Amino acid sequence: MQQSEDRIPVTVLTGFLGSGKTTLLNRILREQHGRRIAVIENEFGEAAIDNELLLETHDEQIVVMNNGCICCTVRGDLVRILGDLARKRRSGTLEFERVIIETTGLADPAPVAQTFFMNLDIARDYLLDAILTVVDAKHAQQQLDDRSEAREQVAFADCLLISKSDLVDTAQCDALRARLVALNPRAVQHVVAFGAVPIEHILDIRGFSIDAALHIDPAFLERDGHAHDLDISSFVFRDTKPFDPVRLDAFMRLLIQQYGADMLRYKGVLYVQGRPCRVLMQGVHMVMGAQEGEPWKGDETPASTLVFIGRKLPRRVFEEGLRYCLTGC
């Protein structure tokens, strides 16, 4: 096996649905740190929305893995992609110094970390630097109560990044931080605002410890596979007609009012009437936001793609309502 300084450092970026992983990743890509980064993105659903939400003006290599979770159904794809990246790096056809893996919000990080110890080729070429877990200050207490994935992500973290602290008061933030210490006393905690964190706090921190992983899960180097809650599913809405902005805003507010508690994550790239650019929409439960994205190019056919991830959401209600929000309908 190569010495650790010769291997490619890997950062696993995890966190429950809507915690702010892509926002943090954008911050990392925007920083003038001089590092060339290969990014591997994993989407739970069939549509790769997060790739559209990343910056358009970077020269990093981005590989998208969708329609499955990196910790189970498409884990073999992770091994293949890492192997391909290492071979291209050795041949000189691709230049990068490190890899960041952004997992789906439902991923258990343990099987992902396991990949770097159980596969000899991957262990030879890569060094698992750290597992970063983004924690949503507004929704984390409920997620930790309800979701085993959220607890696993915190327990396996080497560094906990607390996002959206501006949406809670000081007492709520302090209570969350105390709970995180109880779940994982060894993880360093940082409060981050819109993904802003010093790069030295998250890259090359050599935070991952196999001994710590085995303490959390004695079967870390033995187990295989990971099961998800069958109540959670995702679906995609696509159309080439533009949305009427007034209708869409009213309908989304109705959806949030009625189903917000079960809408774990929703995001989309929207074609909106009267807008020359994409509209990027993101939401978690009752909190939704939108911003302008890249302009539509002259040779593009504008279209909308929305992904909903949630608990027993009535797909037909969502789809019929969204179709009503299209112009000409």
Domain end, chosen from 216, 248, 264, is at 216
Q: Quote the CA–CA distance of 256 and 258 in Å, as a whole number.
A: 5
Q: Quote the CA–CA distance of 329 and 62 in Å, as a whole number.
A: 37
Task: Give pLDDT, residue 259.
Answer: 92
Same domain? 208 vs 303: no
Indicate which CATH number applies to the domain containing 115.
3.40.50.300
How are beta strands 277-284 and 287-295 bridged, if at all? antiparallel
Same domain? 136 vs 245: no
Task: Give pLDDT, residue 1.
Answer: 44
Tell me whether residue 251 is in a domain. yes
Partners of 80 in the beta sheet? none
Number of domains in the chain: 2
- Taking each helix axis as running N to C, give the angle between helix 75-91 and helix 109-118, from 0 to 180 degrees, rounded to the nearest 10: 50
Same domain? 251 vs 202: no
Domain end, chosen from 168, 184, 216, is at 216
Tell me whether residue 224 is in a domain. no
Tell me whether residue 311 is in a domain. yes
Category of 281 on φ-ψ map: left (φ > 0), alpha (ψ -120 to 50) or beta: beta
Same domain? 280 vs 178: no
Same domain? 171 vs 286: no
Domain end, chosen from 216, 242, 258, is at 216
Q: Quote the CA–CA distance of 222 and 217 in Å, as a whole number.
A: 10
User: Across the beta sheet with 61-65, what order do the strands follow?
Assistant: 61-65, 37-42, 98-102, 8-15, 126-136, 159-163, 188-191
The secondary element (H helix, E strand) that includes residue 313 is none
Same domain? 65 vs 194: yes
Same domain? 195 vs 279: no
Task: Give pLDDT, residue 289.
Answer: 84
Same domain? 138 vs 15: yes
Tell me whether residue 212 is in a domain. yes
Tell me whether residue 226 is in a domain. no
Same domain? 209 vs 281: no
Count the residues in the chain.
329
Same domain? 77 vs 172: yes
Domain that holds residue 254: 232-324
Q: Quote the CA–CA distance of 186 and 267 in Å, as a whole number.
A: 33
Count Cβ neighbours within 10 Å for each residue of 35-74 and write b for 16 or more, e otherwise: bebbbbbbbbbebbbbbbbbeeeeebbbbbbbebbbbbeb
- In the three-class reduction of DSSP (H, G, I as helix; E, B as strand; rest coil), residue 266 is classed as strand
Average pLDDT per block of 10 residues along the chain, 329 residues long: 71 91 85 80 58 47 56 65 91 90 85 82 92 94 91 91 93 95 91 86 85 62 54 84 94 92 86 92 84 87 89 92 89
Task: Give pLDDT, residue 180.
Answer: 95
Q: Which long-range contacts (CB under 8 A, 24 or more apart) does 71-77 make?
A: 71/103, 71/107, 71/108, 71/109, 71/110, 71/111, 71/112, 71/226, 72/111, 72/225, 72/226, 72/227, 72/228, 74/42, 75/111, 75/112, 75/115
Tell me whether residue 306 is in a domain. yes
Same domain? 24 vs 104: yes
In terms of pTM, does the model score above 0.95? no
